Chain A
């Protein structure tokens, strides 16, 4: 009886673990829309380092963790920055040109004195 029951229990455990993993992933919003996904990433960023520290203390490990490299790349800031820079310089160009011309004239006047 036990030999027949054992594979069933084993399979049930495996299915339970796999189903639990899928459920946890779905429940924490990891498989949802993009907004849920980015929220989950923010949560993970806030939650993971303290948890690692806690576990390190629990196991009595005193090694210093390497600091997480800052790979913050925000397309909001970088988006079209080249175009923005060019357009802003072009819009400033007449003012700058007149300023520089005035300075040049002043310099030449000072030289001729």
Chain B
């Protein structure tokens, strides 16, 4: 089972590589047909990636999001899912061109992690684990897409006239609104992540909130996106300032995920 997962994972990594290359070709050659192919390929890779995660779960005998490798590959999977949904819903193929390098980076990070399957320590043997980490990856995926959209927003400001970019990137108001939709999704799931994490910590350690660095950083991330939401309400701040906060927010997400384990000690140090 794990052997099959290994092979499938390799195919998925190559798939994301091809996807990114194809998306580059789309924006350089400016051929819409390539975007259609890219979308089809992304859907295909997403299905393979899902299968790889399922195999991992069966092979490892636990929810496949419990160590750095599993979480990284799930993070890439969620980025792929949310970007697919947004590309389709808002008919926005250029989003794929900007999001695929991010997915590639994340799956590349996953590929560098140890794929060893370890027995879960008792505190991780909880049904809350599945809820907690699944909501986290959807939140992270949504914030990743919001990050990409905000970068596009900031880039959009430099575009004059109607050329390829002018035609393929929505007007600033709409772009801001799409980015807002992805932050909303992320905010809802991050709130769920924090809540399920607190319920679980209460059961496992008898303390729903202990200011552990990972908890603290998830709160920082949550506050940053709350600031984003409030900036958008004020007319003068909607747009650029809010977009910058969505960028900072995603930097916090990445720090919460990777930086905290690397630089700060805490009970989350296993994942």
Do they bind each other?
no
